[in-house]
């Protein structure tokens, strides 16, 4: 019997097969997160006051680099041609698990986080009216706890963090995938704020391709010699009409929407320059590409009809998010173990008062996690979808928001530096750390995750929806940030989080 036990122990030590994370290991990780709750809050709050738009997250990237290096991670800033891209990792060997998230803000979202009425911190400045600032807190806190736990229990593996720029514009992840950042990853977890704890599986959203079409013509006097002109705006209008005529022949799942961004200067001057910006979506990557190719041909036809020329500028693309069922089941077990934060009477009152001020039903805060189940595919898009078709990926929404308050408006910035957000960050970090410990230590679980991924992607070969020569738009939002950053600096916390 002793020889049999010794053989089993030796096999576990030397065969490369890890054992499942123990309750003791998870409790240790939770304790690390609890004792660093103040430092975690400092991370999220600091990012809130930076409030930087996509591709201009310079202060946020600098802050994350210093913070992650302070807890022992190796950090690269500027990879894949994006100056504000942050990639950090610690550990060695397999398995390698990546935390995937973002920290960008939204235009004109500046808001005092404790004020119910509209009260910008800086007039006209961007702000975190979706709460991406909390993502940094959850990711850093979980990473610190994982490192501490892996060191204490001598656990093999690598933990990486990816803070991709400009999620709101669907920019960074296709470039990161193309640059090979995820090629040696065994699994990834996408982290996002919500008003409840949730994980799901299946298709979560839509594929999308975004591009600007610019038509070049020839000016002329609209009354004296219009026959000498080549109307670029006519081409834009014909492209729009042409796609409308195509709609009848597209699958019911498609979406197509546009805005005219250039349309001439005055009525009696035939415009030699006009531009239309399109988003084309569908339920799958190949279907979105098929629709987009038809749109391009319509643009070429519009140019031919008007005697103009057309340039196409790729803006962004994304595959639909594909969430892994086996990973979702593992994450759900950790959600059930951790549960939602215990809200105080003051926090519930704050939420109800805010909901009432917006004319919403005063439901307060959620006290039970959402029921586990398959995702209902939404029509929106997120650039992390490209990651999910290259690496088995799970998703985690954590409860740091106020129910019924929709993102992408200034109201959603309220509360994002208060105790509701802080408690949600801590709970989210615990679920994230526990889920990654399971993936690091349970070889059988990781094997089933990979088998699920093979089944989910069977018959669908990933290809980039970007043109081969596409480059990240590094100047995006630069002008606005340069204009408002001097005033925004006056709001910075200037605090260094102290993790231990």
**Distance from C-alpha of 289 to C-alpha of 388, rounded to nearest angstrom:** 18
* Kind and range of the H or E run holding 336: helix 325-338
Question: Tens place of pLDDT for every residue, the chain, 500 residues?
Answer: 444 334 333 333 333 344 467 899 999 999 999 999 999 999 999 999 999 999 999 999 999 999 999 999 999 999 999 999 999 999 999 999 999 999 999 999 999 999 999 999 999 999 999 999 999 999 999 999 999 999 999 999 999 999 999 999 999 999 999 999 999 999 999 999 999 999 999 999 999 999 999 999 999 999 999 999 999 999 999 999 999 999 999 999 999 999 999 999 999 999 999 999 999 999 999 999 999 999 999 999 999 999 999 999 999 999 999 999 999 999 999 999 999 999 999 999 999 999 999 999 999 999 999 999 999 999 999 999 999 999 999 999 999 999 999 999 999 999 999 999 999 999 999 999 999 999 999 999 999 999 999 999 999 999 999 999 999 999 999 999 999 999 999 999 999 999 99
Which residues neighbour 301 within 8 Å (Cβ) at sequence distance 6 or greater?
238, 242
Name the 3-class secondary structure at 121: coil
- CA 84 from centroid of its chain's CA atoms: 14
Those residues with Cβ within 8 angstroms of residue 273's Cβ, 6 or more apart along the chain or in another chain: 214, 215, 216, 217, 232, 262, 264
Q: Rounded distance, CA 214 to CA 201, Å?
A: 39
Q: Is 92 exposed, middle or buried (0-12, 13-18, 19+ CB in 10 A)?
A: exposed
Helix (H, G, I), strand (E, B) or coil at 445: helix
Q: Rounded to whole angstroms, how far apart are CA atoms 100 and 106?
A: 19
């Amino acid at each position: 019997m002793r020889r049999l036990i010794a053989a089993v122990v030796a096999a576990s030590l030397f065969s490369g097969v890890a054992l499942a994370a123990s309750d003791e290991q998870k409790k240790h990780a939770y304790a690390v997160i609890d004792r660093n709750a103040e430092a975690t809050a400092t991370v999220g709050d600091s990012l809130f006051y930076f409030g930087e738009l996509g591709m201009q997250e310079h202060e946020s990237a600098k802050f994350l680099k210093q913070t992650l290096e302070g807890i022992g991670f190796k950090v690269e800033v500027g990879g894949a041609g994006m100056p504000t891209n942050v990639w950090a990792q610690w550990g060695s060997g397999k398995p390698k698990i990546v935390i995937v998230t973002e920290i960008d803000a939204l235009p004109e979202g500046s808001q005092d986080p404790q004020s119910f009425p509209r009260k910008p911190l800086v007039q006209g400045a961007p702000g975190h009216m979706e709460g991406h600032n909390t993502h940094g807190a959850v990711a850093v806190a979980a990473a610190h706890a994982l490192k501490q736990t892996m060191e204490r229990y001598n656990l093999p593996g690598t933990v990486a963090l990816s803070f991709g720029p400009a999620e709101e514009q669907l920019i960074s992840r296709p470039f990161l995938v193309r640059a090979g950042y995820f090629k040696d990853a065994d699994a990834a977890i996408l982290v996002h704020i919500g008003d409840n704890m949730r994980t799901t599986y299946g298709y979560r959203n839509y594929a999308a391709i975004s591009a600007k079409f610019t038509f070049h013509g020839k000016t002329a006097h609209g009354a004296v010699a219009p026959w000498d002109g080549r109307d670029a705006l006519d081409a834009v209008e014909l492209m729009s009409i042409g796609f409308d005529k195509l709609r009848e022949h597209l699958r019911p799942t498609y979406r197509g929407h546009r805005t005219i961004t250039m349309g001439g200067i005055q009525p009696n001057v035939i415009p030699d320059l006009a531009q239309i910006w399109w988003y084309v979506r569908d339920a799958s990557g190949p279907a979105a590409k098929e629709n987009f190719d038809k749109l391009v041909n319509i643009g070429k036809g519009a140019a031919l009809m008007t005697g103009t020329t057309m340039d196409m500028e790729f803006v962004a693309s994304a595959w639909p998010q594909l969430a892994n069922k086996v990973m979702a089941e593992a994450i759900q077990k950790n959600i059930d173990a951790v549960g939602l934060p215990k809200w105080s009477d003051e926090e519930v009152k704050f939420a109800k008062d805010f909901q009432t001020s917006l004319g919403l039903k005063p439901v307060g805060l959620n006290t039970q996690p959402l029921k586990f189940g398959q995702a209902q595919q939404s029509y929106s898009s997120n650039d992390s979808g490209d990651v999910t078709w290259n690496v088995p990926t799970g998703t985690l929404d954590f409860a740091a928001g106020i129910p019924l308050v929709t993102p992408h408006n200034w109201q959603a910035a309220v509360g994002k530096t208060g105790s509701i957000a802080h408690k949600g960050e801590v709970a989210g970090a615990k679920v994230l750390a526990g889920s990654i410990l399971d993936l690091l230590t349970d070889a059988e679980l990781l094997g089933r995750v990979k088998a699920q991924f093979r089944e989910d992607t069977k018959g669908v070969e990933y290809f980039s929806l970007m043109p081969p020569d596409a480059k990240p738009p590094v100047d995006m939002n630069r002008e606005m940030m340069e204009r408002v950053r001097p005033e925004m600096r006056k709001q910075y916390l200037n605090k260094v989080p102290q993790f231990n």
